[in-house]
Amino acid sequence: LPKPFQAPHPPVWVAASSTPAIEWAGGQGHSILMDPHSTRTDLGRKRRHYAAKLAEAGFTDSGRVIPMARLIAVDETADKARAVAKRVAEWTVASYVGPKHDNVRQEQRDFGGKDPVDYYLDDVMIHGTAESVVDQIQALGEQIGMTYLMAAPMSGRSFRLLTDKVLPRIAG
């Protein structure tokens, strides 16, 4: 039988993005914080892989809090939100991608054959109107089992709209 989950005191979360990090954390029975740079599809795959590694080591993921970090842009129109997201995607790519960063990553990204900025915009970030963002967050819950969103708003306006228009609809 799997060992029941008992949070260490204080609880331990390990930021885990790469496959080796996920495997190590699962093998040790640690809870993980999932990264903001994976696509929605990769996030689901990594979440399932983590659960399998926990089970192999005799642990369960039942009752665990597994935060999933997502970059979020919310605005009055989809175009305005996309413009905010694009600025952040450009900064993110400039800060984390390229030869000067290749030696620090355990796994190399291929961006699915896309331009890295488009990759972030289309496959990683959540952006749109409040209604669209609600739908995207709920879809993550349904499709990959996200139960804890660690939201990283991309602008002051995104923060206000997320707080005022999005979170009340998904929390209630």
Q: Is 66 helix (H, G, I), strand (E, B) or coil?
A: coil
Length, in residues, of the chain: 172
pTM, entire model? 0.83
CA 139 to chain CA centroid, Å, is 13
From first to last of its 172 residues, what are the pLDDT tens digits of the chain?
A: 455 555 554 557 889 989 999 999 999 999 999 989 999 999 999 999 999 999 999 998 888 888 999 999 999 999 999 999 999 999 998 887 766 555 554 556 678 788 999 999 999 999 999 999 999 999 999 998 888 999 999 999 999 999 999 999 998 6
55: part of which helix (H) or strand (E)? helix 40-56
CA distances from residue 143 to 76, 118, 132 in whole angstroms, order as listed: 26, 22, 16
